[in-house]
Structure 1
Amino acid sequence: MKRLIASALCGGLILATPLHAEINKCKGADGKLHYTDKPCPSATKLESSELSAEDKRKIEREKQDQQQRAEWEASKKELDDYRATQRAERFTHLKTLLDSGKITQLEFITIQQKGIFIGMSELALQESWGKPSSINKSGVGSDQWVYNIGSTAKANYAYVENGKVTNWQTTE
C-alpha cells in the first residue's frame, strides 16, 4: 500500500514538471503537415521557427496528455496487480483454514462472497464480515455483533450464541 501511495505521489510530481522536448514539424508524403518528437526524414523537416505559438502549445498539450495517459495506465496496472495479489493472499489464507478444518467448505464459499448463514462459526463470520465494531453481550440468548457502515446510523448485525451465528440483520 505504501508503494502505491509513493508511486501516486511520484506521478503527481512528474505531472507538475514541465516537459521539454524537441518538436519537429514535418511534411508527409502527401504534402500535409504533421508534428512529431521524432526526427523527420531529412527533406521534409520544417524549422521550429515556422511553428506558431498556438501550434507549439497544442503539441505540448498533446505530449502532456500522452504522458498523463501513460502514467494513469501504469498506476491502474499497479493497482490492479496489488488487488490481484491481495485476492490471492486472501484465497491462500482461507484455503489454509479450510485444509486445517477450522472452516467448512460451505463457510469457505460463503466467506468469498462476504455472506453469512445460520450455523456459521464465529471464525468464519469474522473472516467474512471482519472484526465487529462492537459486541453487545447478552445474559440470555445471542450476543449482538455490530458492524457499523460509515456511520452509526447504518449498521449490520450478526447474532452469535455458543460460537455459532443464530441470525443476522442488514440495513440497506
Structure 2
Amino acid sequence: MMNQYGNQVAVLCGALVISASVSAKIYQCQVDGKMVFQDHLCEAVESQQEVAVVENIKSEFSEQERRLINNNEVAIGMSEQALLKSRGEPSEKHRSGRGAEQWLYMSEDGRLFQVLLINGKVYDWRD
C-alpha cells in the first residue's frame, strides 16, 4: 500500500517538474536600447513583453541560434526565422530570382545594417 502511494507521489512530482519546464516563459525586453530575449522578468516592467514558451524556442532553433537571438546578433548560417527573432522585420527586402534576398535594417541613428540570405540562411552581413 505504501509503495503504491509512493509511486503515485513520484509520478505526480515528475508531472509537476515537466509542466514547470514547459510553462517557463521567455520575455522580450529593451536593454540599453536593444531588444533582447531572456528567461527572467525585465528590469523595466513597461518594456516587458512575454513572447514565447521555452519549448517552442528550443524546438525551433539550435542552441547557437538561441544565443544569437538573445543577444540580437547575426551569424553566417543563421536561419531566416532566427534572424527575424533576433533583429525583427527589416526596413526593406530585395529579392533576386535565384533564391537570394537582401534585407536592410535602418537604425534610429541612420546607420544601415545589411543581411544577405541565400535559400533561407544568412550568407553574409555588413554593419
TM-score higher than 0.5: yes
2:106 matched to 1:168? Answer: no
Residue of structure 1 equivalent to 2:69 = 111
Higher RCO structure, 1 or 2 (CA under 8 Å, sep 6+) = 2
Residue of structure 2 equivalent to 1:133 = 91
Residue of structure 1 equivalent to 2:113 = 156
The separation in 1 between residues aligned to 2:119 and 2:78, in whole angstroms, is 11
Structure 2, gaps ≥5 residues long = 1-42
Point out the structure with the larger helix share: 1
In the superposition, the TM-score normalised over structure 2's length comes to 0.58
The separation in 1 between residues aligned to 2:87 and 2:81, in whole angstroms, is 10
User: Secondary structure, in 3 states, of the residue corresponding to 2:45?
Assistant: helix
Check whether the contact 2:57–2:66 (CA below 8 A) recurs between aligned residues.
Answer: yes
The count of residues paired between Structure 1 and Structure 2 equals 85
> Identity percentage over the alignment?
31
Computing the radius of gyration over CA atoms, which structure comes out larger, 1 or 2?
1
**Divergent runs of 4+, >3 A:** none
Q: What displacement does 1:119 show?
A: 0.6
The RMSD of aligned alpha carbons is 2.2
In the superposition, the TM-score normalised over structure 1's length comes to 0.44
How do 1:91-110 and structure 2 match up within 5 A?
93=52, 95-99=54-58, 101-110=59-68
Structure 1, gaps ≥5 residues long = 1-78
